[in-house]
Chain A
């Protein structure tokens, strides 16, 4: 920067220029500064991901392989014993990571596609479309979602596809509200008006002008929404209308083995068995929340250092 007091030049003007870092170095820096909770959360998520991806390699037995000993105790052969019809619980836990988490991720993505897209469109349009979508969302949100999902699943049948679509639509209402709220603040910016004056279509304005500026809250919401979807699927499975047997899934595993808990006074290990899938659910939810908390804190610009 030149500091020539004699002449004015646009090049020499004092700007807040900072060193540009590549994405990778920025990620490394962020990770280095991350708190313990976030690191714990990330490691848990990573382990879950590995388990989900390599499930067939890690599991000692097949997902639906039935052995002649139902309710077998914990042993070296069946690490966590077997369930009511003799399937290895440890193997089903591993496959459950793939099914439960995979379906939850797919559902969350779909919810964001629907809610985010419509939310952006409503924020840009601001007229009848906004009114129509917002009121529809209000109506959907007024109905308790778990009960609504139960009703819809009983009507349409409990297939995986139906499950994903129904929960995604119900959850997209929350995504719609958030997207619309944050996008409205961006829509009024002059650069969006400039794009409109240029004659850009709604697709360009949504993707290029608005979306990059509302990413941080949406990413955080993605994490939280994932937890809710995950819990909703587990709850529906526990109630028997979620993921159907023989597909291994943590929610239905809790239900199937729930009766074992009353044997805890005779055999502690047997009593713990139904709690294993439950704690797998709890652990992932807590881990995702830790990471989201850290991300929100980082992007909201609130610093307490």
Chain B
């Protein structure tokens, strides 16, 4: 919808907004008196940890509250109208018309039974902004602007026929279709690979600039927000911590909380000397049924060090871990652990061999039985491997809880009563309970907020030093690799592309894939995306 607004006019003005949510038979404050001003054509970055109220505030900017939430005070003035005072029927005239929303998980937000183009244009046609053929041809223009392959025909596909990154861009096209004044992006790239994320970010930025749309970009990834926004607002516990233009915020953050957010990325481990190998994979081939996923993989893991395995999803990182643990017996090659060859199948390994290799999972939520208390979760390996009972077991559980910087108050809690970082810590304690030598960490920090990530990484480093653990660290995040690893293995399509000391691998020149992977990781430099795109254009030109 185009109207007479000029760039720079105030579009959205939120004053003293308070939102409460109902849970556990009480009302809790979610947003505590936040002010926000957004002008036409501006992009505001909204950052904070989970539970900071970012998403609630983002939705409230559209006058919407999730079920179980209510706006208790404040005004939301959108182009002169206070949305907080309107009925749902009146607000619906704005939604999908003058303001649109891009959700975090595109895959969960599309109706699998309709073609993409029908979903892209549905609200535009319903609002009577364009007729069907106009809306369809406009959608194709948008697909093209978002760099989607085959923009003429991609709209005829169903959601499951395109990739996650493409779906996220189709969703952006859907949001742009009515030419709204305001788009709210709620963590739109969190679920994507780094290489895909770059493409999606570039096309989102391009389209927002092209149509002079105001946008609110919600994320917990600082590097991403640096690329997208004109100014940044930091939220914590539903309060505003700080707001400033992007460059100023990055170079001179005022509040200590903001500084601590910024410092996370500075963590870097000093590289260790290569010692004796504790685990070596030689010529590993593996397959799921008939489809082969690993091709001649050789990996050496020196004792007491951290080897990071990096690559996109589908590159065979997790499959490698499954071969090491014995869940997926290899079809060729051998796994040697501390001098002896491990039997390929888990069932053939001895209890002690199982004990010495432990695993920590990406999603702590699903890695712990929701019906077991912390005491049961940590206590079971003690009982199982070390035959500890009664007081000895209890003392050891408390000792382990202290090691992971928690205490006895957590003993009787269920996983659902822990925060994301605490859950991951309990999973670490469960792995440590077995007194392992070798720990496989499968994307252990990728589901966590940055500040929590830093805490977990520091904990893992400290434990390595104290207990002499060896880690195999699977990740797709390069800043995590810098923070924790000594050696790096780059994988792509089931093969090892490059392997060596961290400094060597990160030193140019890189083989093609490593270059792509490294250059795709957003940096905390507001010009990074612009430079990267210019570089790509140069290469193409």
Residues of A within 8 A of B (CB): 3, 5-11, 13-20, 189-191, 193-194, 196-200, 208-209, 212-213
Nearest residue, chain B, Cβ from A215: B371
Nearest residue, chain A, Cβ from B364: A190
A199 and B384 form a contact (CB under 8 A):
yes
Query: Least Cβ distance of A87 to chain B in Å?
Result: 50
B371 and A212 form a contact (CB under 8 A):
yes
B354 and A209 form a contact (CB under 8 A):
no
Task: Give B299-337 interface residues, CB cut-off 8 Å to A.
Answer: 325-327
A18 and B24 form a contact (CB under 8 A):
yes
CB-CB < 8 A to A16: which residues of B?
23, 416-417, 419
Partner of A10, one of B49, B237, B406: B406
B346 and A197 form a contact (CB under 8 A):
yes
Partner of B417, one of A9, A17, A190, A193: A17
B384 and A200 form a contact (CB under 8 A):
yes
CB-CB < 8 A to A11: which residues of B?
405-407
Tell whether B380 is near chain A: CB-to-CB under 8 Å: yes
Task: Give B345-384 interface residues, CB cut-off 8 Å to A.
Answer: 346, 351, 354, 358-359, 361, 363, 366-372, 380-381, 384
Contact sample, A vs B, 18 pairs, CB 8 Å cutoff: A5-B241, A5-B256, A6-B260, A10-B455, A11-B405, A15-B419, A15-B422, A16-B23, A18-B417, A190-B366, A190-B367, A194-B367, A198-B354, A198-B385, A199-B346, A212-B369, A212-B371, A213-B370
CB-CB < 8 A to B430: which residues of A?
194
B405 and A209 form a contact (CB under 8 A):
no
Partner of A197, one of B255, B327, B413, B419: B327
CB-CB < 8 A to A198: which residues of B?
354, 380-381, 384-385, 434
Tell whether B418 is near chain A: CB-to-CB under 8 Å: yes
Nearest residue, chain A, Cβ from B370: A213
CB-CB < 8 A to B417: which residues of A?
15-18
B327 and A3 form a contact (CB under 8 A):
no
Give how many B residues have a beta carbon under 8 Å from the other chain's beta carbons: 53
Tell whether B51 is near chain A: CB-to-CB under 8 Å: yes
Known interface pairs A5-B241, A11-B405; A20-B367 also in contact (CB < 8 Å): no
**In the complex, A6 Cα to B384 Cα: how many Å?**
41
Which of A11, A18, A199, A208 has the most chain B CB atoms closer than 10 A to its own CB? A199
Tell whether B489 is near chain A: CB-to-CB under 8 Å: no
CB-CB < 8 A to A209: which residues of B?
369
B422 and A8 form a contact (CB under 8 A):
no
CB-CB < 8 A to B236: which residues of A?
5
A194 and B361 form a contact (CB under 8 A):
yes
Question: Hey, what's the 0/1 contact readout for B54-92 against A, CB within 8 Å counting as 1?
Answer: 000000000000000000000000000000000000000
B416 and A194 form a contact (CB under 8 A):
no
**In the complex, A13 Cα to B417 Cα: how many Å?**
12
A13 and B380 form a contact (CB under 8 A):
no
CB-CB < 8 A to B468: which residues of A?
none
**In the complex, A91 Cα to B359 Cα: how many Å?**
65
**In the complex, A19 Cα to B413 Cα: how many Å?**
10
Tell whether B454 is near chain A: CB-to-CB under 8 Å: yes
Tell whether B460 is near chain A: CB-to-CB under 8 Å: no
Nearest residue, chain A, Cβ from B418: A15
CB-CB < 8 A to B24: which residues of A?
18-19
CB-CB < 8 A to B369: which residues of A?
191, 208-209, 212-213
B260 and A189 form a contact (CB under 8 A):
no
